[in-house]
Copies of this chain bind each other. A is one copy, B any other.
């Protein structure tokens, strides 16, 4: 379950070559954008928190919006794509093993669970800002339609053919599944993060809920 930490990656902890200043700017921007939203965040505040002159921000990002996008774009990819681009899923299919519905859902939830857990501020920004920036929505939709949806459909249909799940329209099944998973993650990490969560148990219930909700009887 080694899931990368996106903020680190964003800041080139390993690969990219950002100046330390640029890294600090990104970090500060992520923090404050998550706290108060892009529109209510001033570049001067970002500069202050990053310990950098305001002009420095604009040396690295032509506009404030470019800074936002350079934060949101990577999360978008990392958040959505692996929903079904995981090796595990490939394995499932290779094995022609369709009895693993439970395993599959579990894998799915845990994978995204760890991702969100490690990237709460980024996910917050993603959800919050997508509402206001049409470009982000478009980017997201395109990516979703191209990379996530086709594979998701494939899987669902396989299970439908195997008569393991109900014969609902594929889109409906996808919607119900994603909604339940994302609903859990949002509740867990964004809405009531301070609740006394027993994550494993809760995930267990959620898996069962989905499985029973879709099970062909």
List chain A positions with a Cβ less than 8 A from chain B. 36-37, 39-40, 124, 127-128, 131-132, 166, 168-169, 172, 175-176, 179-180, 182-184, 187, 202, 205-206, 208-210, 212-215, 217
Contact = CB atoms under 8 A, between A and B. Distances in A.
Contacts of A40: 39, 132
Q: Tell me how many chains of this kind the complex includes.
A: 4
Given A124-B131, A214-B209, A215-B212, A183 B172 contact: no
Contacts of A124: 131
A94 to B, nearest CB: 29
A72 B183 CA distance: 23
Nearest to A137: B191
Contact of A182 (B168, B176, B183): B183
B175 A184 contact: yes
9 contacts: A37-B39, A37-B132, A40-B132, A128-B128, A168-B205, A169-B205, A175-B184, A180-B180, A212-B215
A37 to B, nearest CB: 5
Contacts of A209: 176, 213-214
A180 to B, nearest CB: 6
A172 B197 CA distance: 10
